[in-house]
Structure 1
Amino acid sequence: MATAPTIQGMCSSFLTCCLQNKFSLSQSLKLGQSRRPASYPRIRALELDQNTVVAISVGVVSVAFGIGIPLFYETQIDNAAKRENTQPCFPCNGSGAQQCRFCTGKGTVTVIVGGGESEVSQCINCEGAGALTCTTCQGSGIQPRYLDRRYNICHFVDYIFTRKMHCCV
């Protein structure tokens, strides 16, 4: 038959033992002292450490930039579609053609064979034309929209604070 453990056997260093107290529960009630309610740890609503505040701040800023930057570029695309594009292409200066790098615009290539002899042949890169179609504007001479350099960082910052886009053609 198992015996019930004694109160002294249930006490440990982790638990407060009622036997170590000055008065027992019955003695304190006899003396007219009221029993103190058990205290629970308080949970504060906004007790945040510095790392948590930084993490929340970074999250809020990331969301703001994640929404703000695509919104800015969408507005830029809409504004660019509304105005006529007459800006000349930068690599070809609006001509639509670029000088051949292989023959430097001559249309022929000179090869020194040996024994002092040289052989002149037609350029295989430009087929003797001396120029190639500009790969940036595809020969139109007009700057593509994705390379439109009309706006700089000052206009971006101005747009963020005033929500007005200024054109500087």
Structure 2
Amino acid sequence: MATSSSSPLTTLHSSFLSPTPPPSPCSVAALPRRRRRCARIRAIDLDQNTIVAISVGVVSIAVGIGVPVFYETQIDNASKRENTQPCFPCSGSGAQVCRFCTGKGIVTVVLGAGETEESKCVNCDGIGSLTCTTCQGSGIQPRYLDRREFKDDD
């Protein structure tokens, strides 16, 4: 079995995976005509992909912390302000017209052969309106983040 002279790791172009360390920018061979003293010392030689990866990681962490903090601040500020906006679905009345009887309280059913039957609406119990499910009958439009709470009518 023949072995390959180049392993897959040495074919990658990264300063971290090279078999020999890259020459130091301050070595004597690299600066033959300049002063032999090194102007600055680099602790780690980072390539562009590594810098981009570190930058993306830092930004991701900042966004992951910043967004929830922002929303929590907005919720706190909104709870301090009084909400006086009238509810859109019920126009601030707190009640919605029953969609089955269209507010009459009576449902007309066509039986056939020209016969009809009228009965009390089972959806609104003949009242013709229902409590608005958006504002829970208050007539005030709930704030966006307040709508997350489910309120059961039962």
Q: Do they superpose with TM above 0.5?
A: yes
Deviation at 1:147, TM superposition (A): 5.4
If the length of structure 2 is used for normalisation, what is the TM-score? 0.62
The equivalent of 2:91 in structure 1 is: 93
Q: Any unmatched runs of 5+ in structure 2?
A: 6-19, 24-42, 147-154
The equivalent of 2:15 in structure 1 is: none
- Per-residue CA deviations over 1:113-165 (Å, capped at 9, x if unaligned) read 121100011111111111110111100011113358xxxxxxxxxxxxxxxxx
C-alpha separation in 2, matches of 1:108 and 1:49 = 75
C-alpha separation in 1, matches of 2:139 and 2:145 = 13
Q: Any unmatched runs of 5+ in structure 1?
A: 1-13, 15-39, 149-169
- Per-residue CA deviations over 1:20-73 (Å, capped at 9, x if unaligned) read xxxxxxxxxxxxxxxxxxxx52487133243x4443333222212212211111
C-alpha separation in 1, matches of 2:52 and 2:102 = 58
Identity between Structure 1 and Structure 2 (%): 72
C-alpha separation in 1, matches of 2:74 and 2:80 = 10
Matches of residues 126-137 of structure 1 in structure 2 within 5 Å?
126-137=124-135
- The residue identity in structure 1 corresponding to 2:94 is G
Instruction: State the superposition RMSD in angstroms.
Output: 2.3
For the pair shown, the structure with the greater C-alpha radius of gyration is 1
Out of 144, 147, 165, the position equivalent to 2:142 is 144
